[in-house]
Structures are given as C-alpha cells and as structure tokens.
C-alpha cells in the first residue's frame, strides 16, 4: 500500500508542477521549517501543517474560505483547483475577475481551458485589464513587466541570444495556441516544466547537473550568468550523436526531442519503481 501511496503523491506533485499556480521559490519563502527533497512533494504532504502559499497566484485561505465543501473534506486546495475547481467555475484568488476576464476574451472556452491559467499565460498576472497583452508576434516583453524576478539587462540579452522562438513554438504548440510569447512562456513557466529553449539546450540535463540543490533557479539565466566561470555542458554527451538528426526543420527537431522525452520519462519511472 505504501508503494501506491508514494506513486500517488508523486503524481499529484507532478500535476501541480506543470501548473502556473505552484512556485517552489515562493513556497520556500512563505512556509516555515527546512525543506528537504522535492518541494512540490513537500507541499502535497505538508500544505496543512506548515502554512504558506504555493505561489502568489493561488490563495489557499481564500479558496478554503470561499468553498466550504473543499474545506470540510480537508482537500488540498491547489490540487482540488487544478483537478476540478477551474472546470467548476471556481477562482484561485480574489484578485482574479473570472467573469470579467471571460467577457473580455470570448474566444476562451472555460469548459476546455482554465481561464485563470490563460490569464497568467497571456498577461503574466491577473491584471488583464491594465497589463499589455503578450503576443507571440509582438516580440519578447520586458522582464520587469512580466517576469517573477528582474534580471540585469545584459543577462536578459544573453538569454534572448540563446533562445530559439521557432524551435520552442514547434516543440510546444500549446504555447502558440495560447498566443503567448515563447520567450516569456519559457522564462516564467517552461523551464519549470523542463521544456527546452532551443535544440542545443537541455533544461532537464542542466538542472540535474548544476542546479540539483536549487531547482527553482531558471537554468538558462543561470547558464548565461556564469559564462566565463568554467565550462558548463548544456546537453548530455549522447546528444552529440543526434546532431545530424537535429539539423532539420524545427518541426523535425521537435519530433526527435519528443521521442527522446518519452524514452527518458519511461526510464525515470522505471528507475523510481525498481
């Protein structure tokens, strides 16, 4: 039974990791006590014991106070929202005007997409009525406007040099469908979801190799900030074997990387289970 319980916790942790409502850095700062291991797993296991919020975009106290059925059941509020709440018309924060946002964005179907997540992807905050829409055709936005943490201008300039927008949109078509700027999406959400900013930069590999103790750090920003401090690999050696294969179009590269991601995911799951 313990094996199934552990698998369920890992599944729940992975679910909130890919949502815009969990920020491990925010969770670390807002909670009490020392956190060891995976931050999302720690949140799943301890959300009701240590206090704190999972991100600035999800208000647990508001959610539990607003929706008595969730509070009575003792359900993890963020997990409930990600699994059921958004499709039931619930709000993740008092700052999000769900009805107003949907009225202003009639092309968004609340039965198929979470309006709050769409708002964050499009505007970087819940202030959709005052912020500028971040369109993929409009160029990368200023980090001070939409990024969680400000970067020095030279660091952002280097990040843009290493970022391949065509590759990113081909690799992750959901970003294009949301009309989100690819660079903005990677810097805010993509790196947390282990998406790659280009065919030559492996986010998962870089985080595992250099940021195992700081998983909340943006790997691309870390890499460009440490240029000149010694050689750092941005992809495994095995990737060199694939360089002829990856010389095709962005769509072809995306297919190859998707295939690799599936294999890697299966290997990781096998390693954890056995």
Average pLDDT over the chain reads: 76
More confident residue, 259 or 184: 184
Buried b (16+ CB within 10 A) or exposed e, 184-205: bbbbbbbbbbbbbbbbebbbbb
* Contacts by 134-141, CB closer than 8 A, 24 or more apart: 134/180, 134/181, 134/184, 135/179, 135/181, 136/165, 136/169, 136/175, 136/176, 136/179, 136/180, 136/181, 136/182, 138/181, 139/181, 140/181, 140/183, 140/184, 141/181, 141/184
Buried b (16+ CB within 10 A) or exposed e, 224-242: bbeeeeeeeebbeeebeee
Residue 106, pLDDT above cutoff 60: yes
**Inter-residue contact 13 to 44 (CB < 8 Å):** yes
Q: What is the pLDDT of residue 71?
A: 93
Q: What is the pLDDT of residue 5?
A: 52
Name the residue ranges covered by the structural domains of the chain: 2-119, 132-273
Q: What is the pLDDT of residue 213?
A: 77
Q: What is the pLDDT of residue 24?
A: 82
Q: What is the pLDDT of residue 78?
A: 95
Phi, psi of 55 (to 5 degrees): -170, 175
More confident residue, 152 or 257: 152
More confident residue, 32 or 80: 80
The predicted model gives 57-86 an average pLDDT of: 93
Residue where the block lists tokens 């660091």: 155
Instruction: Choose the most confident range, by mean pLDDT, from 154-158, 241-245, 246-250.
Output: 154-158
């Amino acid at each position: 039974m313990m094996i199934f319980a552990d698998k369920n916790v890992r599944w729940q942790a992975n679910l909130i990791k890919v949502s815009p409502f969990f920020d491990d850095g925010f969770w670390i700062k807002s909670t009490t006590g020392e956190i060891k291991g995976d931050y999302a797993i720690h949140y799943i296991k301890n959300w009701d014991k240590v206090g704190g919020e999972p991100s600035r975009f999800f208000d647990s106290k508001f959610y539990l106070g607003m929706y008595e059925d969730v509070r009575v059941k003792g359900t993890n509020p963020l997990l409930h929202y990600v699994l059921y709440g958004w499709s039931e018309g619930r709000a993740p924060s008092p700052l999000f005007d769900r009805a107003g946002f949907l009225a202003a964005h009639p092309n968004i179907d609340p039965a198929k997409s979470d309006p709050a997540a769409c708002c964050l992807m499009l505007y970087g905050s819940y202030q959709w009525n005052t912020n500028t829409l971040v369109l993929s055709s409009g160029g990368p936005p200023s980090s001070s406007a939409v990024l969680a943490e400000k970067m020095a201008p030279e660091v952002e300039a280097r990040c843009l040099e290493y970022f391949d927008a065509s590759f990113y949109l081909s690799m992750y078509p959901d970003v294009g469908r949301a009309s989100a700027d690819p660079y903005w999406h990677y810097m805010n959400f993509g790196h947390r979801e282990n998406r790659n900013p280009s065919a030559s930069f492996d986010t998962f590999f870089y985080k595992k190799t250099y940021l195992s103790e700081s998983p909340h750090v943006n790997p691309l920003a870390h890499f460009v900030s440490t240029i000149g401090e010694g050689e750092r690999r941005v992809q495994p050696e095995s990737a060199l074997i694939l360089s002829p294969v990856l010389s095709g179009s962005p769509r072809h590269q995306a297919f190859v990387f998707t295939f690799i991601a599936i294999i890697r995911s299966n290997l990781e799951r096998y390693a954890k289970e056995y």
